Amino acid sequence: MNNENFVENQPHLDKQTTSEETTHFGFKTVAKSEKQKLVENVFNSVAGKYDLMNDLLSFGIHRIWKRFTIDCSGVRKGHKVLDLAGGTGDFTAKFSRIVGNTGEVVLADINAAMLEVGREKLRNLGIVGNVNYVQANAEELPFADNTFDCVVISFGLRNVTDKDKALRSMLRVLKPGGRLLVLEFSKPILDPLSKAYNFYSFNILPKIGEAVVNDGESYRYLAESIRMHPEQDILKEMMEEVGFEQVSYYNLSAGIVALHRGYKF
């Protein structure tokens, strides 16, 4: 079957296409109990060259997407920020400078290998003092209610097994008036771009992964996981259903990436 036609026919809302016991791992249907380990294996494989691959695969544009996210965060001196699924700490590095000595940034990731890469990277940058590191599952965040002024999850929500549960957990740990920012790959809004993007994702991206990290299959999974992630309007509805208010989103790079923002009141 042609990859392009296949991905165009894939649903974007996994909670409507799986049972209570199963979920998606890319285009595969797997037991929910298995997905976390399968995702862990992917990121164990790519952790060491994660930043390099981000630059290669996005042609450096991911830096612009992240800068826009920071501009939309409202974070200021003294705030407490959760960088969830924060990986190698790009957001943590920026936010630590913004919140200053009176604030705090928590870099949290479920994957120990990614968290260790992030810790080493930030220490090498001289970022210490107002940053803490926590290995945590987004579905069951180990923080008290009303802890953070801002929660950011960047390119991580699509890998979560139970997205509704994770969104409720993020809402719980936010302070009243706090905001959630979800930066994630999404659905291109231009048809010609969508076709070109599909070709790149399934024909070029795995080959780059094979050449750089000797693992084309992990990058094929990442491409598949993007196609199975809820598209813009559906994710907006999911955020509203769990209790976020004034939810909106911005299409970046014509919808290749979307930034969703919601508030807790």
Binding-site residue ranges for S-adenosyl-L-methionine: 88, 109, 137-138, 154
- Binding residues are 88, 109, 137-138, 154
The two tokens of residue 160 are 């979560």
Instruction: Give the number of other Cβ atoms within 10 Å of residue 255's Cβ.
Output: 20
DSSP 214: S
Residue 78 CB partners (closer than 8 Å, separation 6+):
99, 100, 102, 103
- 88 closest CA partner among 66, 59, 61, 69: 66
**What is the chain's Cα-based Rg?**
18
Alpha-carbon torsion (154, 52, 186, 35), positive or negative: negative
- By the 8 A CB rule, do 187 and 157 touch? no
